[in-house]
Amino acid sequence: MSTEPPDIDRTSDVPHGGALPFPEELPPDHRSGFVALVGKPNVGKSTLLNAWLGVKLMAVSPKPQTTRNRLLGILTRPDAQIIFVDTPGIHLPRTRLGEYMVETARRAVPDADVILFTVDVSEPPSRADQEVARVIAGAPDVPVVLVLNKVDLIAPEVAEEHRAAYEVLGTYTVSMPVSALSGYNRDALLEETIALLPPGPRYYPEDQLTDQQERFVAAELIRERALELLQQEVPHALAVMVEEYKERENGTVFIAATIFTERDSQKGIVIGRDGAMLKRIGREARLALEAFLEAKVYLELWVKVRKNWRRDERFLRQLGYEPPQER
């Protein structure tokens, strides 16, 4: 795993100033650029990204703060290449992991070509939404789309009331009600986003979906299934480390991973009676992995206790997180 999510870099792994070395013939109005999905936790940023890409790259869960790393998701069409930067939700951090997540999201804002400020319009603005708006205001030259997600959960008159409250938080190029889950206005939002991108080349090969290794995606999918199945029993004290990832000659993929908890009681919950919960997590994670990898997967899961791992900088680095430096 990489030890630090890089800043947006248009030349990383791509020679000759950022464009592909031998670009295929592109239309003269081809657009490309980096789109930052920014918002507080649990507003649907990862759901939007997964839907647009047509494949699950990031953990999605009703629990807040599911996204911990910043991820590049790459959508390539004949007329455009959109490099999505899905960020952790901006919140008040209580651990070194939380500090890392917030700093990661903040760093994504000024380098973006377009910002999608995603909010949960089924609720009025919170202090967290106000903080996100303040962070976005630090990049005044970047077009911002106010994405009013979860509009399908409330009556139209309530949605309009909440929309007006969100619009006064900042200055936006456009605001758009959507439902990432049902698909309402999802395609229209994508077209609006592409229209705001500058003309440009492709920065990544057309078949590349992400800059993350398969090991990272595997860990995310396992963690998602654990979060979903455990609900409120083990809130955010779970980490997943892929210890072994092998593609065998017969086409199957062998993955050995460890689920870390912070307390012995949490370990017992993850394992479940007679190992039933761990088996269920493994079964559902294996199916998700097979769908993503398009291959048969043999998944081996273990559970270990790592006390207070969210405050352990050395362990956070082993997981692929680089805690922010002291200021």
HEC string of 140-156 equals CCCCEEEEEECHHHCCH
Same domain, residue pair 173 and 240 = no
- What pLDDT shows up at residue 194? 97
Same domain, residue pair 94 and 136 = yes
Closest CA to 45 of 135, 144, 165, 178: 178
Q: Give the model confidence (pLDDT) of 92-147 as tens digits.
A: 444 444 455 555 556 657 678 999 999 999 999 998 899 889 888 887 889 999 99
Which of 196, 226, 245 terminates a domain? The answer is: 196
Query: Under a CB-based contact definition with an 8 Å cutoff, are residues 255 and 297 in contact?
Result: yes
Task: Tell how strand 174-177 and strand 144-149 pair up.
Answer: parallel
Residue 146 lies in a domain: yes
- H/E element, 313: helix 313-319
Q: Give the model confidence (pLDDT) of 246-281 as tens digits.
A: 888 888 989 999 999 888 888 999 999 999 999 999
Domain residues for the domain of 110 are: 31-196
Residue 3 lies in a domain: no
- Count of structural domains, the chain: 2
Q: Order of strands, edge to edge, in the sheet holding 239-247? A: 239-247, 253-261, 297-305
When mean pLDDT is compared across 13-22, 54-63, 65-74, 168-177, the lowest value belongs to 13-22
Query: Under a CB-based contact definition with an 8 Å cutoff, are residues 116 and 38 in contact?
Result: yes
pTM: 0.60
